[in-house]
Amino acid sequence: MPGHRIGYVRVSSLDQNPTRQLEAIPVDRVFTDQASGKDVQRPQLDQLLAFVREGDTVVVHSMDRLARNLDDLRKLVQNFTRQGVRIEFVKEHLTFTGEDSPMAQLMLSVMGAFAEFERALIRERQREGITLAKQRGVYRGRHKSLRPDQVAELRHRAQAGEKKTQLARAFGISRETVYQYLREES
């Protein structure tokens, strides 16, 4: 009995359209992440990895949708194929089964390297854009998470001995942000 065809879709921002990636491609189920491809820490990817079984086929629009890091891409493909799961990349017209030719492995490496390179270029352009915006005086960085009165309360509660994890939850910020506000006091 053939396994399921399972789609994986990743978009980086809210304005991207996830439905176009696997449009007109027959799949039984789709897992969709709205997250950066910089690493594999994505909730729907984790669910996909837990869901697939031997004989299934994972369908992804393109390699850069699965990972923008060559090492992560290779590990994911190997993880799938070791489980007996095929992985198809629609845009590249490549399928990996675990019994792949040296040419297929080369294509995986080359295409994965291009995805990683593209991510590095995006980050470089972003840094350049921020630098130029700062020079023009139009970039002021992120808005502070807490108002001054909240910062005062946070510091008071920390001095009273309240745990940093409790403070982070109470103010809706990360523990690292709690520590940053407490360091600013010094």
Report which of 31, 29, 141 is spatially closest to residue 76, judged by C-alpha positions: 31
Where do runs of H (alpha helix) occur along the chain?
A: 43-51, 63-66, 70-82, 102-136, 148-159, 164-171, 175-185
With a CB cutoff of 8 Å and minimum separation 6, the contacts of 173 are 145, 146
Catalytic residues: 12
Distance CA 36, CA 123 (A): 12
User: Residue 87 in contact with residue 56, Cβ under 8 Å?
Assistant: no
Please give the C-alpha separations between residue 106 and each of 55, 109, 113, in angstroms, as whole numbers: 24, 5, 10
Residue 21 contacts by C-beta under 8 Å, 6 or more apart in sequence? 7, 9, 11, 61, 65
| Residue 60 three-state SS | strand
